[in-house]
Amino acid sequence: MATLLRIEDLKTQFFTSRGIVQAVDGVSLHVDEGETIGVVGESGCGKTMTALSVLRLVPDPGRIVGGHIWFRDRDVTTMDPDQIREFRGNDVAMIFQDPMTSLNPVTRVGIQIEEAMTAHERFSPKDALGRVIPLLQRVRIPAAERRKEDYPHQFSGGMRQRAMIAMGLANEPSLLIADEPTTALDVTVQAQIITLLKQLNRELGTAIMLITHNMALVASICSRVVVMYAGRVVEEGPVHQIFKSPQHPYTWSLLRSVPRVDEVRRSRLVSITGLPPDLVRLPPGCKFHPRCAFREDRCSEEEPPLGEVDTNQVARCWVLMRNVPQEAARELEAVTVPHDVAEELKSMPDLEEAADGS
Amino acid sequence: MALPIPSAPLVQQQDWDVPEQVGLWTDVWRRFRRNRLAVAGAVIVVILVLDAVLAGLLVQIGLIQDPIKQHVELSATGPSAAHLLGTDELGRDTLSRLMFGARISLTIGILVQGIYVLIGGTIGLVAGYAGGRVDNLLMRFTDIWFAFPDLLFVLVLVSVFSPSLLSIFVAIGIVNWVGLARLVRGQVLSIKEKEFVESARAVGSSHFKIVLRHLVPNALGPIIVTLTFGIPAAIFLEAALSYIGVGIQPPTPSWGVMIQDGYQAIYAAPSQVLFPGIAIAITMLSFSFIGDGLRDALDPRMRR
């Protein structure tokens, strides 16, 4: 597959009164045409800022200070204001976390979608008008002909997010960046939105960059995952591979900190102690070492490079999980589930199967 | 670690599932209507506007007297069948002069708001949206403007221009746009941080479109309320100027001029001060009630 987006050594910094916040510090990643990629990490690890950098929407007092963002063969970082305006929406669209506030409360939903199209020359005003209903239908909004006349407050949270996706897709972009698209929604609606994104990716071939802290979401739609920590990529690889054998202790901990309903737990949830580092004063060496259970002396002295650990899988770690003795890892996951709870969990319907039926 | 995904298609929506279509303004009107004082104010204002528009016609068909024609033999009479509110010391019909006075007051009250919007609205919008140095420059300019005492400033301007209807409303407008500029800037500052503005930028909307379609409509509520309260303030300022003698010049009837005329003979004929005074009071109250009603009706927290 051809590469659609290639971010090279991106550095985005915020110039605050406290000092320079290194929100994105040398991130490199790529998205292929039609691919779904997950960008995962805690709050404040630079996921959103990486995405906003791609659209050059970094808020004040932030600035892209280094690196390149290649979209096909054009460099986003050197586009002039007119080019960047054409680029946004046309080539890359973004949907935001909170659908409650992402729609203009005083404008009808249909008109907002239409405006996403008339902002560019791609569709004539007449075509734009005609595309509103099909777009709403495409994101599965029932009774679209009538619903396009509604105001956002008449939409439910899930419907608003669908409308946002319709807006994002209005100009048929090649890449849709979804920044925590389901965080503000309840679980059943989350599942619907994710299914929708999956279907759209299949039907339209739109590449999707899903930004989330939810590993389960990544597993359900992404083919590749990028794990970020403290403004840098710490591990990257195919989803199934990363889930099976995460090599960076941070990825490993993230995976073990998520409760799973689809299996009877024999192990305890691992919590990552401490807080993400202050991005103004980063620790020396590996940025994760103060919170790492498997650190060595070297970790606090020298930052590890992003090294290949397996086919298509890279990790930024001196230790690597495969070198950690099984017992050491197990110690963090003592069996705590009482017998009766385990039995109860066993009797629950098989969700894995239900999901496959979709 | 698969996510449970419902395999059934979405439930088909029924007619009764779709909520009634209620637009923003329909909703505002519903809530405005519930405020009786505001509705009463609106009715009075509508009557005043009709009166101002139709006053000339009413004179032509002879329903009311000519407001300028003097009947010296009827100097300062009380209410009578021919002159319902009596006459002034020059024998002019008070009712007719009041009705023509409404013309001046409403014209000034409303046109001045136009100047506020033109100057204050633009400055506030540009300052708030552009931010940074532009904002700083424009707002310091606004602060300096605000530092002048307004009545004195208006007096100076009117005397420079020579008093006329036009010069009065230009002067009031030029002096008092500051409040609106600050309000608009504040509104824009908070709205431009909203996510829907960011998402509009993310789909590639131009600055012009963002301002026009997102900032202005969302800031409209407080602006309308401020302008509504601004109308009585401007009317009052005009009356004050005319009373001092630098406003509307006799014989054109204006409420301020009438109070000034009546003041000469306040003990002999108090009604000549009383009637225009009441007219000013009622007009100001009506606009204030409307403003109150609109403020509540347009409050986004009270939506739905």
Amino acid A1: pLDDT: 66
Q: Testing the interface with A: which of B5, B17, B21 to mutate, by most A Cβ within 10 A?
A: B5
Report which residue type is found at B210.
I
Q: What distances in angstroms separate CA B124 from CA A175, A275, A328, B175, B253, one per listed residue?
A: 37, 42, 63, 15, 36
The mean pLDDT of A314-340, rounded to a whole number, is: 71
Q: Are B203 and A195 a contacting pair at CB < 8 A? A: no
CATH architecture of B46-56+87-302: Orthogonal Bundle (1.10)
DSSP letter at A179 equals E
Lowest mean pLDDT: which of A89-103, A190-204, A305-319, B52-66? B52-66
Question: Does A190 contact chain B (CB < 8 Å)?
Answer: yes
pLDDT above 90 (res A69): yes
Q: Are A106 and B218 a contacting pair at CB < 8 A? A: yes
Amino acid A101: pLDDT: 84
**CA B34, CA A109: separation in Å to the nearest integer?**
28
Annotate A223-273 with DSSP letters as a single string: SEEEEEETTEEEEEEEHHHHHH---SHHHHHHHHTS--SSS---SPPP---
Q: Are B2 and A120 a contacting pair at CB < 8 A? A: no
Greatest pairwise CA separation for chain B in angstroms: 101
B24, two tokens:
């923003």
Q: Are A216 and B3 a contacting pair at CB < 8 A? A: yes
**Core vs surface per residue A233-256: b (16+ CB within 10 A) or e:** bbbbbbbebbbebbbbbbbbbbbb
- Say if residues B280 and B235 touch (Cβ distance below 8 Å): yes
Amino acid B120: pLDDT: 93
Residue in A85, A260, A352 nearest the CB of B206? A85
A175 chain-B contacts, CB cut-off 8 A: none
Q: Are B304 and A106 a contacting pair at CB < 8 A? A: no
The mean pLDDT of A252-276, rounded to a whole number, is: 71
Annotate chain B with DSSP letters as a single string: -PPP---SPPPPPPGGGSPP---HHHHHHHHHHT-HHHHHHHHHHHHHHHHHHHHHHHHHTTSS--SS---GGGTT----SSSTT-B-TT--BHHHHHHHHHHHHHHHHHHHHHHHIIIIIHHHHHHHHH-HHHHHHHHHHHHHHHHS-HHHHHHHHHHHH-S-HHHHHHHHHHHHTHHHHHHHHHHHHHHTTSHHHHHHHHTT--HHHIIIIIIHHHHHHHHHHHHHHHHHHHHHHHHHHHHHTSSSPTTS--HHHHHHHHHTTTTT-THHHHHHHHHHHHHHHHHHHHHHHHHHHH-GGG--
Question: ipTM of the assembly?
Answer: 0.75
The mean pLDDT of A182-190, rounded to a whole number, is: 82
Lowest mean pLDDT: which of A183-187, A283-287, B186-190, B279-283? A183-187
Percent of chain A whose predicted confidence (pLDDT) is above 70: 88
The helix/strand/coil state of A76 is helix
Greater model confidence, B15 or A295? A295
pTM across the whole model: 0.75
Give the model confidence (pLDDT) of A107-129 as tens digits: 889 999 998 898 888 888 888 88
**Which residues, 6+ apart, have CB-to-CB distance to B152 below 8 Å?**
none
- Say if residues A44 and A279 touch (Cβ distance below 8 Å): yes
- Say if residues B59 and B67 touch (Cβ distance below 8 Å): yes
Amino acid B300: pLDDT: 60
B200 chain-A contacts, CB cut-off 8 A: 104, 115
Give the model confidence (pLDDT) of A214-232 as tens digits: 888 888 889 999 999 999 9
Q: Are A168 and B203 a contacting pair at CB < 8 A? A: yes
Q: Within a 13 Å sphere around the CA of A170, how many CA atoms are in the beta-carbon half?
A: 41
> Nearest residue on chain A to B203, judged by CA atoms?
A89
Q: Are B204 and A153 a contacting pair at CB < 8 A? A: no
Chain B neighbours among A 158-187 (CB < 8 Å)?
A: 164, 167-168, 170-171
Q: How are strands ordered across the β-sheet holding A74-75?
A: A19-32, A3-16, A62-71, A74-75
Residues in chain B: 304
A113: distance to nearest CA of chain B, Å?
A: 10
**CA A316, CA A246: separation in Å to the nearest integer?**
11
Question: Which residues of chain B fall below pLDDT 70?
Answer: 1-24, 63, 72, 74-76, 81-83, 300-304
Residue B238: which of B108, B150, B88, B58 has the closest Cα?
B108
- Say if residues B136 and B142 touch (Cβ distance below 8 Å): no
Amino acid B20: pLDDT: 56
Amino acid A208: pLDDT: 94
**CA B105, CA B128: separation in Å to the nearest integer?**
32
Average pLDDT, chain A: 84
> Nearest residue on chain A to B18, judged by CA atoms?
A147
Domain A3-222 part of CATH 3.40.50.300? yes
Q: State the Rg of chain A over Cα.
A: 22
**CA A67, CA A250: separation in Å to the nearest integer?**
25
Cβ atoms within 10 Å of B178's Cβ, excluding its own: 22
Give the model confidence (pLDDT) of B257-285 as tens digits: 888 888 877 787 787 888 888 988 999 89
- Say if residues B289 and B41 touch (Cβ distance below 8 Å): yes
**CA A195, CA A177: separation in Å to the nearest integer?**
16
Amino acid B139: pLDDT: 93
**CA A263, CA B229: separation in Å to the nearest integer?**
66
Amino acid B303: pLDDT: 52
For chain B, the domains span 46-56+87-302
Give the model confidence (pLDDT) of B39-66 as tens digits: 999 999 999 999 888 887 877 777 677 7
Amino acid B55: pLDDT: 81
For chain A, the domains span 3-222, 248-356
Chain B neighbours among A 283-302 (CB < 8 Å)?
A: none
**Which residues, 6+ apart, have CB-to-CB distance to B21 below 8 Å?**
A146, A149, A150, A154
* CA angle, residues A201, A242, A27, in degrees to nearest 5: 75
A103: distance to nearest CA of chain B, Å?
A: 5
Report which residue type is found at B230.
G
Residue in B196, B202, B214 nearest the CB of A93? B202
- Say if residues B245 and B254 touch (Cβ distance below 8 Å): no
